[in-house]
Structure 1
Amino acid sequence: MAKDVIKAFGQGETVVRALDNVSVEIKTGEFFTLLGPSGCGKTTLLRLIAGFEMPSSGQILIDGQDVTGQPPNQRAVNTVFQSYALFPHLSVAENIGFGLKMKGVAKAEIDSTVKEMLALVKLEAMAGRKTSQLSGGQQQRVALARALAPRPKVLLLDEPLSALDLKLRKEMQVELKRLQTETGITFVFVTHDQEEALTMSDRIAVMSAGRIQQLGAPREIYTKPRNRFVASFIGETNFLNATAVAGGGKLASGQVIAADTAGKSGPVTLAVRPEHVTITAADEAGAIPAEVLGSVYFGTDMNYQLALPDGSEIEACVQSGVSGEASIAKGAKVGIRFAPGSVLLLED
């Protein structure tokens, strides 16, 4: 899809590389997500695939064909924008069929395709309504149906759920994955929302500073982050400064935390997810002593902020019990353990 792509803006000392030698292959029929903070280059890459921008160097390939110099209307792609860009003076059905009409498709084929798309997005009853009479979620479905109607090889989605409220956003995450599975079309989805990426994607490319930091399946990205940026951007993570010793990392207070530090020496950074931290009794053998600094109740779980003997702080996520047990009081002395194999050694 992208090979050795560089995209630079500006000249001389003011030049900014939005994409810095990016190469990525997106598989046919997969739900692929470009994930990262604002300014990481994800939308720039999407625009290059769409043909709205040209790379400073490198190639854009679709279905094995070099389309780098082709304009957007000659590429087998369609784009769903954050704003939906629907025509308010047209009905739902007319919006869906608009692209086909512009391509000169016969009316009978347009009508058949529009009917098929309305059924796909479950809006058959809304066919005659103006888009201004629809809810945000319904407008989103119209935009998707319009983009899918020409049956593109690749559908590009530029943060299309960002304008929706939380409940509707979660519903549309399920709908998007369903649509991608049913159509078999390659989806390339751009978002800064880690939950969206983890929920829908077959694979995720985590981006920062114009480069892909890690590429892999959601579970791999979450459980085995390659570096500190990925670990901090995907979910919550505790970072501990330690010194590599045989079998683990030694904290400043002397406790050794089991981790794979083979071949490492000197200072290292250890990472562990809050859900892999277990709170025990303070005098439990082998537990690391800690003090409770505070807690936050999230309904499904309770998050505890804890201080270790060396002054470092970590967070533990404890699932809420059925009977709603009282939280551990601030200032309480406790012990903590880490789930076997859960502590990772990170690159900076």
Structure 2
Amino acid sequence: MPETPIAVEARNAVKTFGQGAVAVKALDNVSVKIRQGEFFTLLGPSGCGKTTLLRLIAGFETPTSGQILLDGADITHLPPNKRPVNTVFQSYALFPHLSVAQNIAFGLEMQDRPRAEIKETVARMLALVQLEPMADRKTSQLSGGQQQRVALARALAPAPKVLLLDEPLSALDLKLRKEMQIELKRLQVETGITFVFVTHDQEEALTMSDRIAVMSAGHIQQVGPPREIYTRPANRFVASFIGETNFLSAQSDGARVVLGNGAAFSVAAPKGPVGLAIRPEQVRVVAATEAGAMPATVDSTVYFGTDTHLHLTLSDGTIIVARQQSPASGGVDAQKGAQVGVVLAQDALQVLGD
């Protein structure tokens, strides 16, 4: 099977703002390849460099060193208006005095496209984002979700090779944000355009992405499909940033690890002290009398509707969180102060580096 061509590539990209003692290195030798037709997400906390990398691809910033390539061609110093790339901003930046159709047509008109082509493209974009009945409305008369779809349609209308999205869902309420996650992924699949999406929201990244690049302090920590990022994080930062994670200290003899409470697991690890990680859904709470279970005390329970999180303390003082479906099954007493047993899924234990 032939390898998917690369749409966008950053090669050893460095971006430094300021000079001397006040210089800030927003990107530190970042290299990444984004495939054609994929939904690729740059994920990380504020200040990690994800928006800076997006701006280098868009042409709004020039790297201090390194290269940006599009379809294999060096576009590092090409101005934004010469790149077959469009950007959807957090603010949408719509024209309130124009109708929905006029907003979508604006970019095409600036490119002097034929009138018939503009009309046909606008109609196709309105259908794509399901806004045909609102074509003649002013954008100021639309809801936040509808405005966001107009911004997407306007950006997609010129058929860019790459669409850049800079946290476009952050201004929406939770319910609408979840709906738009599905909508965005649908648009990407239907158009086949490469989407590069920036967010600090791990749920957005896991829901929509084909692949995710997790960033921290100007570096890419890990690149991979959502399931791989979640189940096999490369290091402690990725494990802690993506979802909830329990971190445990252990001693290893090379073939097994032993926790502070004496519980042993057949997990290969370097000899000496090691750090382990396990997700809360891989922690099972059972009766205190169950054979092989580690004794623990319930500190508190947090109800999330479909899930309940149990905060527990093991006999050596280690704090651990278990997630189980609500209502808790098995008849285990999960009240504060209750004595319970804890069973860890051995194949879910991971040895993590720094």
- Structure 2-normalised TM-score? 0.95
Q: 1:324 to 1:196 in 2, by over 3 A?
A: farther
| Residue in 2 that maps onto 1:296 | 302
Distance 1:314 1:270 in 2: 12
Q: CA deviation at 1:163?
A: 0.2
**Secondary structure of residue in 2 paired with 1:25:** strand
CA contact (8 A) 1:248 1:258 kept: yes
**Secondary structure of residue in 2 paired with 1:141:** helix
| Residue in 2 that maps onto 1:253 | 261
CA offsets 1:277-320 (integer angstroms, 9 cap, x no match)? 00112122211111111101111011100001111100000111
CA offsets 1:245-302 (integer angstroms, 9 cap, x no match)? 34332122322234232xx011111000000000112122211111111101111011
Match of residue 57, structure 1, among 53, 65, 69: 65
Unaligned runs of 5+ in 1: none
Match of residue 19, structure 1, among 16, 27, 45: 27
**Secondary structure of residue in 2 paired with 1:98:** helix
CA contact (8 A) 1:214 1:230 kept: yes
Q: 1:324 to 1:127 in 2, by over 3 A?
A: farther
CA contact (8 A) 2:250 2:276 kept: yes
Instruction: Pick which of 29-38 and 246-255 moved more.
Output: 246-255
| Residue in 2 that maps onto 1:150 | 158
CA contact (8 A) 1:258 1:343 kept: no
Aligned CA RMSD, in angstroms, stands at: 1.4
Unaligned runs of 5+ in 2: 1-8
Distance 1:146 1:74 in 2: 18
Instruction: Pick which of 143-152 and 320-329 moved more.
Output: 320-329
Structure 2 letter corresponding to 1:121: V
CA contact (8 A) 2:285 2:332 kept: no
Q: CA deviation at 1:199?
A: 0.2
Match of residue 6, structure 1, among 8, 14, 18: 14
Alignment of 1:73 with 2:81, yes or no, is: yes
Q: CA deviation at 1:15?
A: 1.4
CA contact (8 A) 1:249 1:270 kept: no
CA contact (8 A) 1:36 1:42 kept: yes
Alignment of 1:270 with 2:276, yes or no, is: yes
Alignment of 1:336 with 2:351, yes or no, is: no
* Runs (4+) off by over 4 Å: 322-327
Percent identical among aligned pairs is 69
| Residue in 2 that maps onto 1:213 | 221
Structure 2 letter corresponding to 1:84: Y
Distance 2:290 2:344 in 1: 13
Q: CA deviation at 1:243?
A: 1.1
Distance 1:114 1:159 in 2: 25
**Secondary structure of residue in 1 paired with 2:35:** coil
Distance 1:325 1:13 in 2: 61
Distance 1:347 1:173 in 2: 32
Q: CA deviation at 1:93?
A: 0.2
Q: CA deviation at 1:219?
A: 0.2
Aligned positions, number: 346
